[in-house]
Amino acid sequence: MTIRGDRTGGVRAIASRWAHAIGDLPRWTWAAGAAVAALLIVVIATGGFARAVAAPRVVAAGDEVRTGQLSVTVREAELTREVESEYLDAEDGEVLLVLTLAMENLTDDPIGVGTTADRIDTNLVNHDEPLLDLAGVEPTDSAYVWRADGSAGQVYLQPGVPAEVMIAWPIPEDAMTGDTVSLDVHEAVISTGAVILSSRVVTWRAGDVAARVAVALSEAT
């Protein structure tokens, strides 16, 4: 009991000395502390300590964008009501945004654009977070993909073989307010395995934006 009482008394003495020391601080010290606290509250409330997100690098049509998996060059963009060769027609209130792209597969395996190839799901288009993503424009339906040379069937890219690819997105006819459209080209975050399918399934998911391609729009004649 005596030892415990001594320790308690010592603690009280130390607390008393600290209280007197704090009470003797000049008033300007208290004011400065209050100002710093108020500033911290404002900075936190406005997201001042949030991680800064870098603006994407902007390139023009005709400039190549290279990621770890793809080379993409947007050649031109066009608004049209129909693509006769592919039997595509815009619905009422829609217009087709058609991009012409030069693409090259930089991986060692065949990949599909808008489809799966050899258990590799690239998610380039027609995904909640596609790797080729229209900036500021929400498509009304799935994109349609075909080869510029008119070849029939799904579009596959063989490793190291350049190809010219057409992609048409249906969008609201009042969605374009300017004379340019932008396409975000994302890096791919690659994961393997699936619970049901197979451990050999490879999935590409959209990572950081490698570049934003700004393309002048033309109207179909």
pLDDT per position as a tens digit, 11-42: 566 556 655 655 665 665 555 556 656 666 65
- Residue 95 confidence (pLDDT): 97
Does 50 have pLDDT greater than 50? no
Does position 113 have pLDDT exceeding 60, yes or no? yes
Mean pLDDT of 49-76: 85
Mean pLDDT of the chain: 83
Per DSSP bridges, beta strands 111-113 and 70-80 are: unpaired
Give the per-residue pLDDT at 51.
Answer: 46
Q: Is the pLDDT of residue 127 over 70?
A: yes
Arithmetic mean of pLDDT, 120-146: 96
The pTM for the full model equals 0.73
Residue among 83, 84, 114, 78 at smallest CA distance from 97: 78
pLDDT band at 122 (very low <50, low <70, confident <90, very high): very high
Q: Hey, where are the domains in the chain?
A: 2-45, 58-219
Give which of 105, 219, 102 is closest to 167, Cα–Cα: 102
**DSSP run (H or E) holding 10:** helix 2-23
pLDDT confidence of residue 4: 45
pLDDT above 50 for 1: no
Query: Is 144 in contact with 115 (CB distance < 8 Å)?
Result: no
Evaluate if residue 76 carries a pLDDT over 90.
Answer: yes
Largest alpha-carbon pair distance within the chain? 101
Which pLDDT does position 85 carry in this prediction? 93
Q: Which of 150, 205, 145 is nearest to 169 (CA)?
A: 145
Q: What are 180-195's pLDDT values in tens digits?
A: 999 999 999 988 765 4
Q: How far apart are CA 2 and CA 192, in angstroms?
A: 68
Domain covering 58-219, topology: Immunoglobulin-like (2.60.40)
The tokens describing 153, both together, are: 């069937």
More confident residue, 76 or 176: 76
